Amino acid sequence: MTDKHVQRPDLPPPVSEVGAVGWLRKNLFSSYVNGLMTLLALWLLWQFLPPLLDWALFSANWSGETRADCVGEGACWVFIANRMDQFLYGFYPAQLYWRPNLAGLVFIALMIPLFIKSFAWKNWLGAAILIVYPFIAYLLIHGGWFGLSEVETSKWGGLMLTLVLSAVGIVASLPIGIVLALGRRSKMTMFKSVCIIYIEFWRGIPLITVLFMASVMLPLFFPEGSDFDKLLRALIGITLFQSAYMAEVVRGGLQAIPKGQYEAAASLGLNYPKTMAFIILPQALRLVIPGIVNTFIALFKDTTLVLIIGLFDLLAIIQLALTDAEWLGFDTEGYVFAAAIFWVFCFAMSRYSIALEAKLHTGHKK
Amino acid sequence: MTAEYIIELKGVHKWYGEFHVLKNINLSVKKGERIVICGPSGSGKSTVIRCMNYLEEHQQGQIVVDGTELTGDVKHIEQVRKEVGMVFQDFNLFPHLTVLENLTLAPVWVKNVSKSEAEASAMKYLERVKIPEQAYKYPGQLSGGQQQRVAIARSLCMNPKVMLFDEPTSALDPEMISEVLDVMVELAEDGMTMICVTHEMAFAKRVADRVIFMDAGEIVEENEPQAFFDNPQNERTKQFLSQIIQH
């Protein structure tokens, strides 16, 4: 055994492991079943994609003013284009569209720095967006101050209303949900019971019931003549309802944090609020990002239910347009358009959640 | 109550439900003293030191740490925890924070030290445990031995008067044990009051002023290390020592 051990040099991988051929073999034809599935998927695409593209794009009618302009076989996007303003803003006065537009622009402008890596005040700006921005948006869109004429919430509608409903629901339900989740794990028996009753009550009834209650029943409990804004009632109903779901998602995250984290925080002298704020919640919320975003997406789509209490969100206003005698028979275009808009927003949320998870991932463990 | 004792346990009893884990524990620790507690698993040795910063509650008896008696009073508990550092078997670093943030969090939020001051002192302690270059990494990127040294530095950042070690090397791979023990030996040589639950008998021989052997919730024997290892008095101690020295 006098030979010195010499480490062998690395050999290049075989062709089957790298390159386009390698990729195809590994991902699409790695086994008979996989190969079969690949062929089946290709066949389905070939069957359904061309007619769909033809209807939606190639044979579609894009320009014109009335239904008479829709002559081809394909979709009549003229209908959508014609009604676009209403789909976006509802019955909001057309000469005031700049106000919601400005509110949207302000939001985008505030969000940009959050995506700049070197920006140092992210936390403060984020908090400002969450807490201050809703008031700015409300003052702009609602008006009634500083020479801006008032636009009642009953005139709000379309995509704008959908965004208002879901944004408020999202922003308000997360903190309430966190408090409820902490309460449910609290050692204070009364507080804990209240949280459990709250969560189980709101989770046990359908959102439609909540909205009906908010719009029909609630006014019965208030003195006659007191007018309590319908949109506000819907917002409160949606927030109370979603916060119960949020609470359970957050609780799932809290349960995944090992006891050692609490003990380490305690042994360093951190009290309960500081332990929660700096140690437990940052980890727990990170773990349940997929669940939280899932709830947000569900909330975003559930806002369509407000149509039953007479609020015209994106879907409701499209349905309303479909009943216009001038444009009868374009249901497919209307619903496809609604679906496309909802899909874009939901998909964006989904991608953002994945990006956030990747960004917050630390180290190899856990 | 004399001031020379920094920790005093008098007639401490503890139950987990029906199970009597600690039976009449009496233990006084002087300032600067290094104590090693050993014993078979389930003997209550971890429970004893976890009572010393109230991670576990005792039901009977008195525990006084640096003049503050540990009762259910939250003020007292927080006071004691500021003075007592603890190192755990599983490190329990905060995985979502960098090493430096792990070290500065408690000084900044518990002791109201300014951030820059806390960072300067954190770097000093990281150098003391010989890993200043890891300051901006996350715990998940470090080896077990490095993580445990960060955990020690994290406790030291609070300038504790006493350090409790709960089997600090039991979760480590063999080649990493010595890097952690080296840090602990240095700490002992600097005069830190230390109470260690450990099975590292060589460490006990080298640094301990007193070795305490526990079995079934009782302190069975305590002595200076030389006498403890060479001439154990109690039958259970002899049996325990023969078992761990066999290998």
pLDDT, one tens digit per residue, over A3-62 is: 678 888 888 877 767 778 778 888 888 888 988 999 999 999 999 999 889 888 888 888
Asked if B86 is an interface residue toward chain A (Cβ–Cβ < 8 A), one would say yes
Q: How confident is the model at residue A2 (pLDDT cuts 50, 70, 90)?
A: low
Q: Does the pLDDT value for residue A239 go beyond 90?
A: yes
Report the residue from A266, A274, A279 with minimal CB separation from B94: A279
Report the residue from B55, B78, B139 with minimal CB separation from A271: B78
CATH number at residue A266: 1.10.3720.10
Q: How confident is the model at residue A347 (pLDDT cuts 50, 70, 90)?
A: very high
Give the list of residues 6+ apart from residue A182 with CB closer than 8 angstroms, or none.
Answer: A254, A276
Enter the tokens of residue B40.
């078979």
Examine residue A45 and state whether it is found in any structural domain, yes or no: no
Sites in chain B below the pLDDT cut of 50:
1
- 3-class secondary structure per residue, chain A: CCCCCCCCCCCCCCHHHCHHHHHHHHHCCCCHHHHHHHHHHHHHHHHHHHHHHHHHHHCCECCCCCHHHCCCCCCEHHHHHHHHHHHHHECCCHHHCHHHHHHHHHHHHHHHHHHCCCCCCHHHHHHHHHHCHHHHHHHHHHCCECCECCCCHHHECHHHHHHHHHHHHHHHHHHHHHHHHHHHCCCCHHHHHHHHHHHHHHHHCCHHHHHHHHHHHHHHHCCCCCCCCHHHHHHHHHHHHHHHHHHHHHHHHHHCCCHHHHHHHHHCCCCHHHHHHHHHHHHHHHHCHHHHHHHHHHHHHHHHHHHHHCCCEHHHHHHHHHCCHHHCCCHHHHHHHHHHHHHHHHHHHHHHHHHHHHHHCCCCCC
What is the pTM for the complete model shown? 0.85
Examine residue A340 and state whether it is found in any structural domain, yes or no: yes
Q: How confident is the model at residue A366 (pLDDT cuts 50, 70, 90)?
A: very low
Contact yes or no for B81 and A266 at CB 8 A: yes
- Residue in chain B lying closest to A265 (CA): B106
Higher-confidence residue of A162 and A24: namely A162
- How many domains does chain A fold into? 1
Comparing CA positions, the residue from A51, A104, A110, A86 lying closest to residue A314 is: A86
Residue B154 has a pLDDT of 96
- Residue in chain B lying closest to A277 (CA): B109
Contact yes or no for B96 and A362 at CB 8 A: yes
Examine residue A111 and state whether it is found in any structural domain, yes or no: no
Asked if A261 is an interface residue toward chain B (Cβ–Cβ < 8 A), one would say yes
Examine residue A292 and state whether it is found in any structural domain, yes or no: yes
Please give the share of chain A, as a percent, with pLDDT higher than 90: 41
Task: Report the pLDDT averaged over residues A67-74.
Answer: 78
Higher-confidence residue of B178 and A78: namely B178
Contact present, B75 and B94 (Cβ < 8 Å): no
- What number is the ipTM of this complex? 0.92
Report the residue from A263, A269, A271 with minimal CB separation from B88: A263
**C-alpha torsion sign, points A152, A155, A159, A161:** positive
Alpha carbons A277 and B105: distance in angstroms, whole number = 12
Residue A232 has a pLDDT of 87
Examine residue A32 and state whether it is found in any structural domain, yes or no: no
Q: How confident is the model at residue A365 (pLDDT cuts 50, 70, 90)?
A: very low
Residue A14 has a pLDDT of 76
Q: In what order do the strands lie in the sheet with B5-16?
A: B19-30, B5-16, B60-65, B68-69
Q: Does the pLDDT value for residue A146 go beyond 90?
A: no
Residue B83 has a pLDDT of 92
Examine residue A140 and state whether it is found in any structural domain, yes or no: no
Q: A 268-307 residues with CB below 8 A of B? A: 268-271, 274, 278-279, 282-283, 286
Contact yes or no for B92 and A263 at CB 8 A: yes
Q: How confident is the model at residue A86 (pLDDT cuts 50, 70, 90)?
A: confident
Q: Does the pLDDT value for residue A243 go beyond 90?
A: yes
Asked if B117 is an interface residue toward chain A (Cβ–Cβ < 8 A), one would say no
Higher-confidence residue of A150 and B89: namely B89
Alpha carbons B167 and A220: distance in angstroms, whole number = 65
Looking up tokens 């040294």, which residue turns up?
Answer: B149
Contact yes or no for A267 and B138 at CB 8 A: no
Residue B3 has a pLDDT of 61
Report the residue from B74, B81, B109 with minimal CB separation from A278: B109
Residue B162 has a pLDDT of 95
Residue B87 has a pLDDT of 96
Q: Does the pLDDT value for residue A1 go beyond 70?
A: no
Rg (CA), chain B: 18
Enter the tokens of residue A252.
């799932």
Q: Which residues of A19-47 are buried (b: 16+ CB within 10 A; e: fewer)?
A: eeeeeebeeeeeeeeeeeeeeeeeeeeee
Which of B76, B88, B96, B147 to mutate against chain A (most A CBs within 10 Å)?
B96
Q: Are strands B5-16 and B162-166 parallel, antiparallel or unpaired?
A: unpaired
Q: Are strands B34-38 and B193-197 parallel, antiparallel or unpaired?
A: parallel
Residue A3 has a pLDDT of 67
Q: Does the pLDDT value for residue A364 go beyond 60?
A: no
Alpha carbons A249 and A295: distance in angstroms, whole number = 8
Examine residue A194 and state whether it is found in any structural domain, yes or no: yes
Q: Does the pLDDT value for residue A162 go beyond 60?
A: yes
Alpha carbons B193 and B210: distance in angstroms, whole number = 12
Examine residue A93 and state whether it is found in any structural domain, yes or no: no
Q: Between chain A and chain B, how many beta carbons pairs sit less than 8 Å apart? A: 77
pLDDT 10s digits, A89-137: 888 888 888 888 898 899 888 888 888 878 778 788 888 888 888 888 8
Contact present, B7 and B70 (Cβ < 8 Å): no
Enclosing domain of residue A257: 152-360
- 3-class secondary structure per residue, A162-204: HHHHHHHHHHHHHHHHHHHHHHHCCCCHHHHHHHHHHHHHHHH
Report the residue from B106, B137, B141 with minimal CB separation from A269: B106
Which H or E run includes B21?
strand B19-30
Contact present, A195 and A183 (Cβ < 8 Å): yes
Contact present, A91 and A160 (Cβ < 8 Å): no
